Amino acid sequence: MRDAVGFLRAEYDELVRADLDWKLRVLAGPSAPWCDIDGKRVLMFCSNNYLGLSNHPKVKAAAVAAVQSHGAGSGSVRPIAGTMDLHVELERRLARFKQAEASLVYQTGFATNAGLIPQLAGDGDLIVSDELNHGSIIDGVRLSKADKAVYKHGDAADLARVLDQAEAHAPAYRRLLVITDGVFSMDGDIAPLDKIAKLGRDHGAMVYVDDAHGEGVLGDGGRGIVSHFGLSRDEVQVEMGTFSKAFGVVGGHISGSRDLVNFAYNKSRTWLLSGSHPPAVAAACLAAVDVLEHEPEHVERLWSHTRRFKKAMAALGFDLGRSETPITPVIVGESRSAKALSQRLYELGVFALPIVFPMVAKDKARIRTIMNAALSEDDVQFAIAAFEKAGRELKLI
């Protein structure tokens, strides 16, 4: 008789043998600067919680209050009985913050890309994607029936080449959709969105930017990459983001025109068929938007820490790649070197995980650090000292 599920253990065992399986670390308590990870007190240096808002008192208080006023769950999907006043207010406030006509909140960032991208382009269309785009974009593109093309990472000239070829396609494409991450999560570099937007305008293409790692970090008061480049909504038609990073909670969202939002919530099956956010989540997201609007010191401190860390690490001789943001990869080469450095840092009291092949090229293994505004200056110095000690012990610097 055929073994229908034997492949599950076989494939997992192969991942273990190749040392490619995820070994989960357990956090006991909040995502704070100093955490209990697997029973050891360590400095958190790889969280996406850029501004420390997941543990901000206003954000926590809003979540607690919403449970008391609205209950533990929403009771349904958004289009049936799951749209609460908290969801509507969150979308109104987010649109104001993003300086957009309208916003729509999805259950997660992944659900946003997987649900919307296939609806924006289909048969007779072309999607053009940066070669290093996030996996959620890749999956969203795969779900579409459109033709697909890839341009070299961050290379506007290569994007122009692809779009020129698309213009000559016969029969003519009905729609062109260009998609890019705003900030690339492995290297911390920023997409040339100003150049991409111009190419989109010149070729009549819709531009879609995934700003998951840019909002709360780039732009006026953390408003994101569209603000960072001073672009209009006519130039970047879809600005996608997530509440799970700088906002410190969870959820995905898009901002743009009212037509975009009306289209998206009628077409995205991930939005239509998934339960809506519990009241506590919606209220916490609302509070996080409010904090960003009224407490600019968090974004300022994030960048102050980032500049200090990058300067010190470069002076020590570490390779920081092409990072332009608080995502700072410490590139060490081979996978075993990155794993050894991560383990030694943990022993010294700093939690920062290795990123190795196949997530990055075999000779580009690194420790991916992410700065946090909630750290103190002493915390940043502690991390620098730990990297110096571990780097010298392992002969990496």
Catalytic positions, written as ranges: 185, 213, 245
Q: Is 69 exposed, middle or buried (0-12, 13-18, 19+ CB in 10 A)?
A: exposed
| Alpha helices by DSSP H, the chain | 6-17, 57-70, 85-98, 109-120, 135-143, 156-167, 193-203, 225-228, 258-267, 269-272, 279-294, 297-316, 335-348, 377-393
Q: Are 315 and 387 in contact (CB under 8 A)?
A: no
- Evaluated on CA atoms 176, 177, 182, 188, the torsion sign reads negative
Distance in angstroms (rounded) separating the CA atoms of residues 260 and 6:
45
Distance in angstroms (rounded) separating the CA atoms of residues 118 and 82:
24
Distance in angstroms (rounded) separating the CA atoms of residues 339 and 366:
9
- CA dihedral 190→194→196→202, nearest 10 degrees, is 180
> Rounded to 5 degrees, what are φ and ψ at 53?
-75, -20
User: β-strand 354-355 against 350-351: which pairing, if any?
Assistant: unpaired
- Amino acid found at 141: V
Q: Which residues contact 371 (CB under 8 A, 6 or more apart)?
A: 50, 302, 305, 306, 309, 326, 328, 380
